[in-house]
A = this chain, B = another copy of it.
């Protein structure tokens, strides 16, 4: 399929050089950070205003042309691939920070603003936007996939930090959901419905984000453990003790090896916890001391404190580089990244079962995670040309997902469904999958919004 001539003419005349059907421009949109690949879209447009997005959608809706939003391309489940062709909307030119209101602790941004760009802009205000998935993703993409990351244990996910939004529906209607007030009970929570809807219901064109005060003091440390079980049990005990963690991250021995290999660190090749505390100097010291006692009970092998901002930046840069670090363990590899999230009491069991499954399948799959939320990832390394390996990895991932569901957890803590987990949606949601499909039909009757994603097939 390619675009009908009249559509192509209309878009070319409306957008000029911001519309392209050239393979050289399109090839950027056919890949992803993981094993997911797809055909090229039929065209790409770089819109600059909400009105332009509305124009594109109503034209595409009238002509039954798929529209797929694109932020920075850092999603892990193939969300932004044009598997049924159509037009990719690259939102990177809608990157204005429209308003910052320190007195109301909120910022209004266009969807193409990245989290690092927003935080650079906020530096002087004493505020920051806390959601941190690692990648320098666009805030629109983070909202669309309901992203979270290392700080969710303290500050919540995109669900908790998007106060309001503007979005364009399939038929071009522009709506606003939510308000700038701290809470609202005025009708259906359309903000929460659109956050995490992965571009299948609307294109988000503006976000009102909740900001946080920059902590007076921060302390971060890394601590090794002899076994995975001890590290994970330490997390559970810490969370139950009520110590306010800003971050509590787990990496297994293989991930430590990957860091050493990729980032030149000299960590012992053992499981580690990486922790961070935010607060006043006194509270941070108290929290750190209490955590130290708990870690000691589980055989924690001493702390390496990152006391300066530069040391902390290095620590979290290492953590955020985990994905390329893991890939570097097997040159030329791509990966399937799992993402289950379970109740805390099930975490140790879920992590050890995953490790055993990966080992038994003969795969290499370092494990790490935002374990304060019960969320962890295995980065299963794959030869991109080896279909059997991919099939084996998918079997392991499916077993992990089934186990997560069996203990009341979820198949996706933060990466979303996209292409990669669609087959598991029925297992997770049963009849509720039909409700999602009914909502999709009601808002996108022609099925043009990111078709083939999220909704159970």
Complex: chain B residue closest to A208, CB-CB: B408
Min C-beta distance of A165 to chain B, whole Å: 10
How far does the alpha carbon of A106 sit from the alpha carbon of B412 in the complex, in Å? Answer: 20
Query: B342, B432, B436: which contacts A181 (Cβ < 8 A)?
Result: B342
Min C-beta distance of A325 to chain B, whole Å: 24
Contacts of A106 in B (CB 8 A): 343
For the complex formed by this chain, how many copies does it contain in all?
Answer: 2
Interface size on A, residues (CB 8 A): 84
Interface string of A354-396 (1 = CB under 8 A from B): 0000000000000000000111000000000000000000000
Min C-beta distance of A265 to chain B, whole Å: 29
Min C-beta distance of A152 to chain B, whole Å: 6
How far does the alpha carbon of A154 sit from the alpha carbon of B375 in the complex, in Å? Answer: 24
Min C-beta distance of A126 to chain B, whole Å: 10
Interface string of A410-449 (1 = CB under 8 A from B): 1111111100010001001111111110110111000000
**Which of A87-95, A185-193, A294-302 is found at the contact surface with chain B?**
A185-193
Complex: chain B residue closest to A169, CB-CB: B435
Contacts of A435 in B (CB 8 A): 169, 175, 188, 190, 443
Asked if B184 and A345 make an inter-chain contact with CB atoms under 8 angstroms apart, the answer reads no
Q: Which of A130-167 contact B (CB under 8 A)?
A: 145-148, 152-153, 156-157, 159-160
Complex: chain B residue closest to A441, CB-CB: B442
The answer to whether A17 has its CB under 8 Å from any CB of chain B is no
Q: Which of A336-354 contact B (CB under 8 A)?
A: 341-345
Min C-beta distance of A101 to chain B, whole Å: 7
Asked if B103 and A345 make an inter-chain contact with CB atoms under 8 angstroms apart, the answer reads yes
Min C-beta distance of A8 to chain B, whole Å: 29
Asked if A185 and B409 make an inter-chain contact with CB atoms under 8 angstroms apart, the answer reads no
Asked if A436 and B183 make an inter-chain contact with CB atoms under 8 angstroms apart, the answer reads no
Contacts of A412 in B (CB 8 A): 184-186
How far does the alpha carbon of A176 sit from the alpha carbon of B195 in the complex, in Å? Answer: 19
Asked if B187 and A408 make an inter-chain contact with CB atoms under 8 angstroms apart, the answer reads no
Complex: chain B residue closest to A411, CB-CB: B186
Query: B103, B147, B188, B404: which contacts A197 (Cβ < 8 A)?
Result: B188
Complex: chain B residue closest to A455, CB-CB: B187
How far does the alpha carbon of A146 sit from the alpha carbon of B183 in the complex, in Å? Answer: 10
